[in-house]
Chain A
Amino acid sequence: MQTNRQLILRRALKEIKDGMYVNLGIGMPTLIADLIPASIQVMLQSENGLLGIGPYPKAEEVDPDLINAGKETVTIKPGGCYFDSAESFSMIRGGHIDLAILGGMEVSGSGDLANWMIPGKMVKGMGGAMDLVQGAKRVIVIMDHVNKYGESKVKQKCSLPLTGSQVVHSLITDLAVFQFADGKMKLVELQEGASLEEVRSKTEADYLIDDTLLLNR
């Protein structure tokens, strides 16, 4: 039996294809890096100015001048490079990054994402998330389907301040995979162990269901 997190990460991994330039967000998305098999060659971008993130360093390799966007010490892969923050966001805003995988607090049925602020609590800031959702060729959000109180995080309309409006291409949760097109959300896959009924009861947003899921019932 896989944990919710493993279900999400392993499904997200399938979206990473050979030859891609990918930005993995801080937190859960960063964990995907460790799962990428050697047979898939990708360049991971870190928005603080690094293309070609390598694994965490050995103790004797730790360099305070070499960190990722989560401020963790990292290494650089052979063929990687460094650049300044303006050039980094030229890559992102200019549409040169194939895929961004980000965490989410809420996603709406029209593909809005909220993941940077909870009013009344501490405002941490959006960092590079608003640039990534506008600039990456494809934006995938990974998150738990419900919050710790069992409430749906897949909302009819986001209640939290938005990171971007109609910016999500795919949503991967511990229960299901959704795709977004023309402001509509479609259920395209069920995660292992999930049923259409469970997804329906835990999803606040309206959504379409892909024919293949209905036929295979």
Chain B
Amino acid sequence: MLELAWLIPIFPLIAYTLIIFLTKKSKSISVAVALAGIVASLVISIGVLVETIQKGITMAEPFEVAVKWLRLSAIDKYTGLNIDMGILIDPLSAVMMFVVTSIATLVIIYSVGYMHGDPGFSRYFAYMSLFAFSMLLLVIANNFFEMFFGWELVGLCSYLLIGFWFEKPSAAKAANKAFITNRWGDFGFMLGIILLYINFGTFNFGEISRIIGDGASGVGAAILTLISLLIFAGPMAKSAQFPLHVWLPDAMEGPTPVSSILHAATMVAAGVYLLARGFVLFNESTETLLFIAYIGGITAFIAASFALVQRDIKRILAYSTLSQLGYMVMVIGVGSITAGMFHLTTHAFFKCMLFLGAGSVIHAVHTQDIFEMGGLSKKMPITTWTFIIGALALAGIFPLSGFWSKDEILLATHQAGFTGLYWLATLVAGMTAFYMFRLIFIAFFGEKRTDHHAHESSPWMTVPLIILAFFAVFSGWGLVKMGYGSMVFFGHPHHGEINLGIALISTVFALGGIVLAWLIYYRKIVDTDLMKQRFRPIYNLLWNKLYIDEIYEWLFDKVMLGVAWLCNQCDRKVVDGIADGLGDTVRHTGGWMRFMQTGSLQNYALVIFGAIVIIVLLMATPVLGGVIR
């Protein structure tokens, strides 16, 4: 199976091409093509995963195949350029590919029900296939350049899918916002890999880690810090870390399955995956790691606090994704890619499920405001129960998957000696439980608030939910038993023993959050409106997301447009002025000189002979001065 691994990204690409160019007209054939492509990838990636485990392929000795793609030989002092296209199979990429393909398969199945009757039905599945291809290319890449290729494609697909309903202005705006925000990160990433190539002479992950491992790279610590910080700009945008997180909540404008795949497996996971893949670089710079850890921690906390007050079901989930991504980035920053990737895996399943559940709800009640829902539990039992399972998993309740991965994170943070971050993360765990159950108690229980005719969704939508619920329950425990820590690791294997104290504390916080939510929103022991009144400033701050969007808007409107205005003026007045001035001078001189052009032949003859006289005078002066013999 390993030899076939290169086919994993290819199948969705073929599906995309077929749909776009051939089968676009027929909805059913397009769906079949998209499904066939992604299922084929799923099958191969399962095979690859199994074989990776069986053959004992480790992070240190991966299976790598590459073909030459671009060779520019060195000329004089300029280094050449060697770019490969290759595949790199190690536990990290094998697990990631399994996650991506399985989630993508389930989301595509779900979309058949969700997108039913949409005019852009076939286009949607084409984009989905392209999205899967891009992410798989990114994952399977064996060098930074190829990864960047996939990285940009992922950005493009997210743009296409977020703006899928582009006739809606808000969707078009959200797509632009996502794309532009990501551009900042991509730019940093690109500068980073260029600098990397200049210093290391290769893009290849393996070679870079060998060079660093030998300690003979001759690359200064400052340069390494710069490179790793620049590369981290990529994940900061793609995985929506503070302060580049602003695009992710707006990305909710796309169809819900898009949000689901975006949040679970493809877009945002790419950043975390890059952190894990390039960890050997980040590990070389203490400053970068510290920066990553604190950015992650800040994001986790800020996003969780935003989620506390949101009313839109998808926005709550979006901020929870932000918060969980903050966890992952933070724990990679403290030095454990095992915990980060573990959480990425489990989170992918339950977050995907939560989004699909939210989509199911939205599909049924046609609103996204949780205060307009209420009492859905009786009407939509499957959705409700899977949603609750997801929420429990997200809150980290034993024995669901979230518990295991969150415990890993807290443990790793604690062991690495980041006590402050550890307590922050624990607090965030409590907040997570609170806002998730706030959502559940408001949306699914209580009385019906508005007149809606909710009904359970079609099997196309519920079956993926049930499958995902299964993963959400068992993936954590299962992966721990399968020895995830001894598969995906950096340096030395990591055996996640459950630290009873830490597990207990986080569970207490999570349960505390749930109970609080139950008291406030189910039993209504306090008046929420009164609390809103009393804590008006804090509420406003959180409701407006710390005014970060407004700050950006101000920056854009005032600073950037100001600079642009200056540049414009400079261009118009100075640069154009010089060019125009030259032109005007020539034209005016010409306009004045043209009166010499009388058009009269006799005048020309006169001038010619006058000139001859003058020339002869000039040239023959010595002769003319001679004496007549």
Tell me, yes or no, whether A binds B.
no
